[in-house]
């Protein structure tokens, strides 16, 4: 697995920068869900964002979940990441397709439509922290920047991109998030804004075989910075028969008896990795016995 997130700080710790190369991760999602190019781009961008946001989490059991609901043909997107940037996700309608916008650019905004972006952070508290915004563009990067400004009061610059081959596989995928703390100087902010304004799309840079290290140099041109961490990123579902069994048990005895009577078996499907878990009547009976 070659995907990773590079993490750096600049301006005496008043800026933090995350840059991801996520081609393998997005390609895994595409082959798993058999998504159309526009669905691959939308899901891919959200996975990259989640991976970076996951890498910002402190506890190893912390989870961030991004949910996009839209009235476009994709229907919606659900993506999660843990602190180790193990990401997984799905789009409600992976086969959605719409005509390409200008110059062959995939029209992610149209495929998503109008709607909301919500972010839930499960950091071991009783209730997960959640924030929600109305989508401002549907291109996901701008929406996330708006989320950070509005819900977190953190000025952020976000770039996310997925480049697709003619055979529909993923050619390049990556993204960056730059965040400023209140003490960042105007001089630094000016330089940073100028650099980001002048920089090409991240997918174009990756397509020139640039690495996150090279891209960091471009974003922080003429600024001092320190690389803090390099975090491997991958598509990984953590579902298992044991977890599904625990979910079934948590339904309670009455619900299990009901399933046994009406269905005779329980079929549970994991949307993240397309795995079906089947529990026959004997297994359900033994779950009921375990519980009582
Ligand atoms: Zn799964």
Ligand 1 centre to CA of 120 (Å) is 19
Query: CB of 91 within 8 A of CB of 35?
Result: yes
Q: What is the pTM (predicted TM-score) of this model? A: 0.94
Last residue of a domain, one of 218, 235, 252: 235
Ligand 1 centre to CA of 217 (Å) is 37
Residues 266 and 247 in one domain: yes
The number of beta carbons lying within 10 Å of the beta carbon of residue 105 is 10
Ligand 1 centre to CA of 246 (Å) is 14
pLDDT top residue among 248 and 91: 91
Residues 26 and 136 in one domain: yes
Percent of the chain with pLDDT over 70: 98
Ligand 1 centre to CA of 236 (Å) is 8
Ligand 1 centre to CA of 31 (Å) is 14
Instruction: Output the CA angle 94-132-270, nearest 5 degrees.
Output: 35
Question: What CATH number did the domain enclosing 18 receive?
Answer: 3.55.30.10
Query: CB of 84 within 8 A of CB of 57?
Result: no
Residues 9 and 54 in one domain: yes
Residues 142 and 281 in one domain: no
Ligand 1 centre to CA of 234 (Å) is 14
Strand partners, 70: 115
- How confident is the model at residue 103, as a pLDDT? 63
Ligand 1 centre to CA of 267 (Å) is 14
Q: In angstroms, rounded to a whole number, what is the distance separating the alpha carbons of residues 250 and 64?
A: 23
Residues 47 and 173 in one domain: yes
Last residue of a domain, one of 197, 213, 235: 235
- How confident is the model at residue 97, as a pLDDT? 87
Ligand 1 centre to CA of 137 (Å) is 30
- pLDDT for 170-225, tens place per residue? 999 999 999 999 999 999 999 999 999 999 999 999 999 999 999 999 999 999 99
User: Look-up: residue for tokens 């297994």?
Assistant: 283
* CA quadruple 89, 95, 100, 104: dihedral sign: positive
Q: 222 in the Ramachandran plot: left (φ > 0), alpha (ψ -120 to 50) or beta?
A: left
- How confident is the model at residue 289, as a pLDDT? 87
User: Look-up: residue for tokens 């991109």?
Assistant: 161
> What is the DSSP code (8-state) at residue 14?
T
Ligand 1 centre to CA of 242 (Å) is 12
The phi and psi torsions of 260 (rounded to 5 degrees) equal: -60, -45
Strand partners, 131: 119
Q: What is the mean pLDDT of the chain?
A: 94
Ligand 1 centre to CA of 271 (Å) is 7
How many domains does the chain divide into? 2
Residues 59 and 113 in one domain: yes
Ligand 1 centre to CA of 65 (Å) is 15
- Whole domain around residue 157: which residue ranges? 4-235
The number of beta carbons lying within 10 Å of the beta carbon of residue 179 is 19
Residues 115 and 93 in one domain: yes
Residues 199 and 287 in one domain: no
Residues 173 and 71 in one domain: yes
- pLDDT for 24-75, tens place per residue? 999 999 999 999 999 999 999 999 999 999 999 999 899 999 999 999 999 9
Ligand 1 centre to CA of 4 (Å) is 22
Ligand 1 centre to CA of 157 (Å) is 32
- pLDDT for 249-267, tens place per residue? 888 899 999 999 999 999 9
Ligand 1 centre to CA of 277 (Å) is 10
Residues 52 and 175 in one domain: yes
Ligand 1 centre to CA of 237 (Å) is 5
Q: In angstroms, rounded to a whole number, what is the distance separating the alpha carbons of residues 3 and 208?
A: 17
Residues 17 and 92 in one domain: yes
* CA quadruple 160, 165, 169, 171: dihedral sign: negative
Ligand 1 centre to CA of 272 (Å) is 5
Predicted confidence band of residue 125 (pLDDT cuts 50, 70, 90): confident
Query: CB of 38 within 8 A of CB of 106?
Result: yes
Predicted confidence band of residue 131 (pLDDT cuts 50, 70, 90): very high
Last residue of a domain, one of 193, 217, 235: 235
Question: What CATH number did the domain enclosing 284 receive?
Answer: 3.90.1280.10
Residues 131 and 274 in one domain: no
Ligand 1 centre to CA of 88 (Å) is 8
């Amino acid at each position: 697995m070659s995907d990773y997130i590079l993490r750096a700080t600049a301006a005496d710790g008043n800026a933090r920068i995350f840059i991801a190369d996520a081609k393998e991760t997005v390609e895994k999602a595409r082959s798993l869900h058999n998504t159309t190019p526009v669905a691959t781009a939308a899901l891919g961008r959200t996975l990259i964002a989640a991976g970076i946001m996951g890498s910002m989490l402190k506890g190893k059991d912390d989870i961030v979940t991004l949910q996009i609901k839209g009235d476009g043909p994709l229907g919606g997107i659900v993506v999660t990441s843990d602190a180790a940037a193990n990401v997984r996700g799905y789009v409600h309608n992976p086969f959605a397709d719409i005509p390409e916008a200008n110059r062959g650019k995939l029209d992610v905004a149209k495929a998503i439509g109008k709607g909301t972006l919500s972010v839930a952070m499960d950091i071991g508290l009783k209730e997960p922290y959640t924030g929600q915004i109305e989508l401002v563009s549907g291109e996901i990067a701008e929406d996330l920047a708006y989320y950070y400004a509005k819900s977190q009061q953190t000025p952020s610059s976000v770039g996310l991109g997925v480049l697709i081959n003619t055979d529909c596989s993923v050619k390049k995928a990556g993204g960056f998030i730059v965040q400023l703390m209140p003490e960042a100087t105007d001089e630094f902010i000016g330089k940073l804004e100028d650099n980001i304004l002048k920089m090409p799309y991240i997918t174009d840079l990756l397509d020139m075989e640039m690495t996150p290290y090279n891209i960091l140099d471009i974003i922080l041109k003429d600024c001092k910075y320190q690389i803090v961490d390099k975090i491997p990123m991958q598509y990984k579902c953590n579902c298992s028969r044991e977890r599904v069994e625990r979910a079934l048990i948590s339904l309670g005895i009455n619900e299990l008896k009901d399933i046994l009577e009406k269905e005779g078996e329980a079929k549970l499907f994991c949307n993240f990795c397309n795995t079906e878990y089947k529990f026959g009547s004997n297994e359900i009976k033994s779950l009921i016995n375990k519980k009582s």
